[in-house]
């Protein structure tokens, strides 16, 4: 069984730091808070994008949801929704990019890919105490597992990883490894409080702006 390679769509969206959302993230930032498909050895950086503009907002603001511990002990505080900070909006913007044709991405949405990774990463998975690997494990929540997937993909010539959002199966995301070729499309857009995609994502998570 062989892994599936996917070609990205003609247009991808990303929310990043102002003024350039498509800049590769500083290495020191990833050391503090590594992303899902970051390189565990810090040899390459990763850009996280989505096929749908709305998907970028879902992925980006999920961090502002109350924790499970907070929900469990909140009581009357549940009536007070969590807020997406204005400082987060002010420091972010939305960008668009067009991947160059011919780029190959490891498609972890595919059973064939997951079965390949299950075999290839078996020693590490056993060491981590992971009893089995399926699609849910490949996209989180264990950073040790997802970063191992990233390293395997990069070592085998893939330019990134195609995966579905762990918050909504209808949202397709693409992690681009440093070295992936793309063209910028248009100008960066500020994140305004009345942005329709932000408003929709906030409502889905029961947050406020």
Task: Give helix then strand counts, H and E, for the chain.
Answer: 9, 8
Alpha helices in the chain (DSSP H): 27-32, 53-61, 68-74, 86-90, 111-120, 122-128, 135-138, 143-155, 196-204
Whole-angstrom Cα distance, residue 160 to residue 103? 9
Range of the domain at 143: 5-204
Does residue 140 form part of some domain?
yes
Q: What is the pLDDT of residues 73-126, one digit of tens each?
A: 765 555 577 899 999 999 999 999 999 999 999 999 999 999 999 999 999 999
User: pTM for the full model?
Assistant: 0.93
Reported as a single tens digit per residue, the pLDDT across 117-175 is: 999 999 999 999 999 999 999 988 899 999 999 999 999 999 999 999 999 999 999 99
Question: Is residue 87 a part of any domain in this protein?
Answer: yes
Identify whether 79 is part of a domain. Answer: yes
In a domain, 61, yes or no: yes
Residue 53 lies in a domain: yes
Domain count, the chain: 1
């Amino acid at each position: 069984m062989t892994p599936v390679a996917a070609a990205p769509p003609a247009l991808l969206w990303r929310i990043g730091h102002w003024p350039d959302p498509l800049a590769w993230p500083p290495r020191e930032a990833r050391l503090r808070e590594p992303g899902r498909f970051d390189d565990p050895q810090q040899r390459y950086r990763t850009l996280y994008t989505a096929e749908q503009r709305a998907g970028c907002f879902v992925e980006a603001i999920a961090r502002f949801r109350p924790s499970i511990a907070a929900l469990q002990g909140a009581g009357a505080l549940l009536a007070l929704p969590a807020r997406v900070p204005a400082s987060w909006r002010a420091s972010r913007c939305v960008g668009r990019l067009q991947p160059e044709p011919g780029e190959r991405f490891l498609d972890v949405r595919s059973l064939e890919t997951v079965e390949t990774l299950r075999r290839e990463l078996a020693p590490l998975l056993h060491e981590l105490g992971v009893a089995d690997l399926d699609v849910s494990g490949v996209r989180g929540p264990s950073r040790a597992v997802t970063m191992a997937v990233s390293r395997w993909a990069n070592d085998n010539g893939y330019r990134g990883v195609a995966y579905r959002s762990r918050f909504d199966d209808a949202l397709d995301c693409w992690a681009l490894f440093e070295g992936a070729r793309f063209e910028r499309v248009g100008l960066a857009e500020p994140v305004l409080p009345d942005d329709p995609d932000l408003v929709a994502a906030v409502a889905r998570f029961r947050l406020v702006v």
